[in-house]
Amino acid sequence: MQSQFGDPAKSLVSLYGYTPTAWVGILMVVIFVLTTTLHFFQAIRYSMWFLLWTAVVAGILEVIGWTGRLWSSYQRDVSQAVPFSMQIICLVIGPTPLIAANFVILGHVIRRLGQQYSQLKSRLYTIVFVSCDIIALVVQALGAATAIVAVNSHEDPKNGSDIMLAGVVFQTAAITLYLLFAAVFFLRYFYDRPIRGRENIKTGYVFEGKLCKMAAALIFSSLCFYVRTWYRCIELGNGWNGTIIHTERYFVIMDAVMIAIAMWTLNTFHPARLLGHGGEWHADKNILTLRVQSPDSEAEVSLSTNHSDDGAPKY
């Protein structure tokens, strides 16, 4: 099959392989504007500053990308490159900052439940996986830019597509490792099996109530990211002129809906509501070893901190 990008006349048909549906574009713009606005005010209210450069930035990129698709849906000439460039760049890299938010939050959960159960300490956990996220973002952005230059020149964007694919594959591998590390951590916590050579420090937090809800939300949203990255791998691997990239419903369901669900999940199960105000997160960086008596003792547990009504340490 000859690439439509090698022939300027054929490229006038559609850069998408179809005309984006207007009502879908409107719906997605509204959804992402609402969740992004909510994330912004939640981050400000609870001093959760890391959500400004993760969830909020991701939402802004999604809004810009879907605005490009909506713009294309109202154009008679769907081959115009500006809106197409907006959507391909922003929607490829958009979810990457949001994934970083999950890495940061899980690192904090690990700090509260006990770093002795994690292969990586919480701070290093965040540094390693956020760094992987940044690398994936840069590679995907480079690939998208390369593809756009090719499209504007009526050339085959395969090289750019391959670079994007490499970035997405790297991101998929990082998320896979993140999920495996998280699974091992929780298994070790449940069975009280610290990493060999590490002191078994009791922090005073237990895996119940709000902490349990936060972990469940992280797992759910991470699976949404996982579905999306695998879809992108298959889409780009199928080629720029493949059936998958030219089928709108696949993209809407496997990319847009997955990211929208992940963003709204973080709105609903917000880390500030479940794990405390940003100030409490800062205090948790200095969690001290707590002397915990035997489970059958009715004596009051001796702690180096005060407790809230639900039994979790309060700083």
- Is 82 or 13 the better-scoring residue by pLDDT? 82
The 3-state DSSP class for residue 307 equals strand
d(CA 179, CA 184): 9
300: pLDDT confidence band, cut at 50, 70 and 90?
very low
**pLDDT the model gives residue 205:** 77
Among the residue ranges 101-115, 134-148, 297-311, the one predicted with the least confidence is 297-311
**pLDDT digits 0-9 by tens, 210-219:** 989 999 999 9
147-161 confidence digits (pLDDT tens): 888 877 777 788 888
pLDDT averaged over every residue in the chain: 82
pLDDT confidence band for 129 (50 / 70 / 90)? confident
pLDDT in tens, 53-110: 999 999 999 999 999 999 999 876 655 678 888 998 899 999 999 999 998 899 888 8
Q: Where are the domains of the chain?
A: 4-277
The span from the CA of 61 to the CA of 254, in Å, is: 17
Q: Tell me which H or E stretch contains 314.
A: strand 313-314
Sign of CA dihedral 310, 311, 312, 315: positive
Q: Which of 113, 108, 116 is nearest to 285 (CA)?
A: 108
Whether the CB-CB separation of 124 and 106 falls below 8 Å is answered with no
Asked if the 4-277 domain carries CATH number 3.40.1160.10, the reply is: no
Over 60: is that where the pLDDT of 290 sits? no
Distance CA 286, CA 55 (A): 26
On whether the pTM is more than 0.85, the answer is: no
What DSSP assignment string belongs to 17-79?
A: SSPPPHHHHHHHHHHHHHHHHHHHHHHHHTT-GGGIIIIIHHHHHHHHHHHHHHHHHT-S-TT
Report, as an integer, the average pLDDT of 166-194. Answer: 90
